[in-house]
Amino acid sequence: MSEAEFRKTALKVGAASYAALKNAEKNVRKGESLLKVAEEAEKLLRDEGFAPAFPINISIAGNAAHYTPTFGDDSTFPEKGLVKIDFGAAMNGVLGDCALTVDLSGDYSAPAEASKEALENAISKVKAGVQVREIGRLIAETIGKKGFKPIKNLGGHGVGIHELHDEPFIPNYDNGDTAVLEENTIIAIEPFATLASGRGLVANGDIKEIFSFVGDFAQPRMPNSRTLLSMIKKDFAYEPFAARWLGSAVSNRFELYSGLLELERLGIIEAHPVLVELSGSQVAQFEASVLVTKDGCEVLTK
């Protein structure tokens, strides 16, 4: 793919990512089905000729990232809390990644605004040659001045061809990393902010609904596992996928999740567990993908 073709595709993917994100945002309200919102946003991308770059993340309150509705999920949006919507489109291996936060009750608008302002300030800092630690420092300063904490073990990342989380890592604080941004590369910047009472750190939770194919290293024993593997290799060999996307391949919930468990145990797939703030504190997130240029950057997800 030529440089011109790459930029053209990246702009199309970015626009589609943002449109799907905003479509999901307008449907976030108390009592609405999470599964309905997810399926509508993902269908919107597919109907426009894109694939999801990853299953839509709908992470609520102290869940910072990686929650996507389960197979047959009957959960609904609560009355209060911060809802993080994180989504992106894919085309020819070019990936989009963007996120926003919805405050369901109005009680937590301040940390959401801190995260959004941190993103805007970070974007203004981007250009080829800038050290990633400088972006992290600005994010932490912005969030800290508002009275909140950045999530230190989450951050942005490079976005490569079929590689959602590529180098470099874009920290949300000055981590001392002197790696520099390179021209004509895509990075996703995603400041996470939590309350002053929070720990400012996340850990893996118990819920696993998003997976990636690693490699066909072993022969699964169970028939349902082999059926799932065949579908994964055919349809989801490159980008992360949701457990619920495989529901049509098996006859019930037990066969789906027991099959995924065996595939994970064999190292054929990798799970991406829900990431939970260590104290359970509310978490806000905003994210944009940008193309790094010599003198600045071009926001793709708009």
Q: Does the active-site annotation cover 103?
A: no
* The two three-digit tokens of residue 260, written as one number: 């995924």
**Of 103, 117, 134, 190, which one is the catalytic site residue?**
190
Q: What is the DSSP string of 26-90?
A: HT--TT-BHHHHHHHHHHHHHHTT-EESSPPEEEETTEEE---PPTT---B--SSSEEEEEE-EE
Query: How many other C-beta atoms are found inside a 10 Å radius of the C-beta of residue 174?
Result: 17
> Pick the catalytic residue: 86, 103, 117, 255?
86
Is 287 one of the catalytic residues?
A: yes
264 among known catalytic residues:
no
**Among 97, 103, 209, 239, which one carries the catalytic annotation?**
97
How many CA atoms lie less than 13 Å away from 206 in the CB half-sphere?
A: 0
How far apart are the C-alpha atoms of 83 and 64, rounded to whole Å?
A: 9
**Catalytic residue status for 107:** no
Give the Cα separation of 182 and 14 in Å (integer). 19
State the catalytic residue, choosing from 39, 73, 113, 165: 165
Q: Are 116 and 165 in contact (CB under 8 A)?
A: no
Residues sharing a CB contact under 8 Å with residue 155, sequence separation 6 or more, in sequence order: 136, 169, 170, 171, 172, 190
For this structure, is 165 an active site residue? yes
Looking at 42, 157, 262, 272, which residue is catalytic? 157
Instruction: Give which of 276, 250, 26 is closest to 154, Cα–Cα.
Output: 276
Q: 232: closest CA among 251, 219, 214, 258?
A: 214
Q: Catalytic one among 117, 134, 255, 287?
A: 287
Residue positions annotated with a catalytic role? 86, 97, 157, 165, 190, 287
